[in-house]
């Protein structure tokens, strides 16, 4: 009846890629160091995640369940990786916003 409604492999893969990219670019111990290099790397990772979000949305039509699952997956993975809880929550929120914007119909 629900078919692929609860299928989350694309979301799981996306979340894992986002967290791996962030960990590689800006490890947890450097997230709040305020250096110019860290800020530059955070800007680069932001650009990469934007591209990944657009690719995800264009390759898979996400339903409400799948979109809702992205945030908690990313937040939990970041906290588990050693990032502060507040950072994980804010970062996950921003990624969810990217996906929501990328999902909007193009006029």
CA pseudo-torsion sign 30, 34, 35, 38: positive
Q: Enter the tokens of residue 27.
A: 């490890």
Q: Enter the tokens of residue 75.
A: 């937040």
What are the backbone angles phi and psi of residue 67, rounded to the nearest 5°?
A: -65, -40
Question: Which pLDDT band, with edges at 50, 70 and 90, does 1 fall under?
Answer: low
Task: Give the model confidence (pLDDT) of 44-81 as tens digits.
Answer: 999 999 999 999 999 988 999 999 999 999 999 999 99
| Model confidence, pTM | 0.88
Q: In the chain, what are the domain boundaries?
A: 36-107
């Amino acid at each position: 009846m629900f078919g692929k409604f609860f299928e989350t492999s694309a979301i799981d893969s996306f979340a894992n890629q986002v967290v791996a990219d962030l960990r590689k670019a800006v490890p947890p111990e450097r997230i709040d160091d305020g250096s110019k290099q860290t800020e530059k790397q955070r800007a680069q990772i932001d650009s990469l995640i934007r591209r990944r979000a657009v690719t995800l949305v264009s390759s898979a039509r996400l339903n409400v369940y799948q979109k809702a699952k992205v945030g908690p997956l990313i937040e939990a993975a970041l906290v588990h990786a050693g990032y502060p809880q507040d950072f994980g929550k804010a970062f996950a929120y921003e990624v969810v916003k990217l996906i929501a914007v990328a999902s909007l119909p193009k006029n």
